[in-house]
Amino acid sequence: MFEELIASRVGQVIHRVIAAAVRDGLSEDETEDLLNRLWLEKPIGGTTAWQTRTRAHLAVSVYLRRLRPQGWELLDAEMHLGTSVADLVWCRPNRLLPTVVFIDEVKTGRRPLDAPELADQIHRLAADGDRIWGAAFGGVRVAQTMVSSQSRFWHSDGTSLSPADGPALASKAGTV
């Protein structure tokens, strides 16, 4: 229970830092400074704080360098959708094609993509995304920061795409 609480709090900090870095155009140094400031305000991790902090730094860095969707706009971080909370919500407005929205579920551990609790979380996020955005909702990407090549994208109907296909090809509304 304690580890789950720590993981949840760390995730919230990671999402806030990623959102600030994207919205404010922060440099790598500024992003690291922000994470350090947030950590000093509310230290997380008890006796393993240094490990937790290192993991958070790594997750933010990997996400921003390797997983951040280029050409997409961040709508929100930690967005409450009803039965779920989306870590990061991205949108790609386009005057020529319909707007597309997708959710990034950021994972900092090595949990297998077929874990039952992850499947339930993806299902809830996808159902909420469909209800809120309808045809504009592209799906949910599990963004694995520990092994970014294992990230995966799911349509709300449960079909999965490889990470190479990414959110740009995952929209029901068409390729963007």
Assign a CATH topology to domain 73-169. Trna Endonuclease; Chain: A, domain 1 (3.40.1350)
Question: What confidence tens digit (pLDDT) does each residue in 56-96 have?
Answer: 888 999 999 999 998 889 999 999 999 999 999 999 877 66
Domain ranges of the chain: 2-67, 73-169
Give the range among 20-34, 46-60, 88-102 with minimum mean pLDDT.
Answer: 46-60
- Is the pLDDT score of 169 beyond 60? no
Instruction: Find where tokens 């990623």 sit.
Output: 18
**Biggest CA-to-CA distance, the chain:** 53
Residue-level pLDDT at 38: 80
3-state secondary structure 19-64: HHHHHHCCCHHHHHHHHHHHHHHCCCCHHHHHHHHHHHHHHHHHHH
Give the range among 3-12, 22-31, 166-175 with minimum mean pLDDT.
Answer: 166-175
- Is the pLDDT score of 47 beyond 70? no
Instruction: Label residue 156 by pLDDT band (50, 70, 90).
Output: confident
Residues 144-171, mean pLDDT to the nearest whole number: 69
Residues 16-27, mean pLDDT to the nearest whole number: 93
